Amino acid sequence: MQDGRYRRRTRETLDAQLVGYWDREAARLDALAERARFGWIARRYRRKAAQARVQAERSRIREAARGNA
């Protein structure tokens, strides 16, 4: 007999964890780019932030395809 006390806990998938990680990483890199002293360093941080956003979107798409979004 199943009642409310024994519900199965849903686990957060790796893709769901990666979405949060890459979003935070992009924000961190954007902040570093704003404080960068030299333009070439800021450009590098911005490129890395853009790549982090691409990776977050990739995991977001996988998570949506899984039906957990």
Answer whether residue 7 is part of any domain: no
Answer whether residue 20 is part of any domain: yes
The whole model's pTM is what?
Answer: 0.79
Q: What is the pLDDT of residue 9?
A: 67
- Distance, in Å, from the CA atom of 28 to the CA atom of 33, rounded to the nearest integer, reads 9
Answer whether residue 52 is part of any domain: yes
Answer whether residue 6 is part of any domain: no
Q: What is the pLDDT of residue 6?
A: 66
Task: Residue 49: give the domain boundaries.
Answer: 12-66
Q: What is the pLDDT of residue 37?
A: 97
* Count of domains for the chain: 1
Tens-digit pLDDT profile for the chain (69 aa)?
455 666 666 788 999 999 999 999 999 999 999 999 999 999 999 999 999 999 999 999 999 998 875
Contact (Cβ atoms closer than 8 angstroms) between residue 31 and residue 49: no
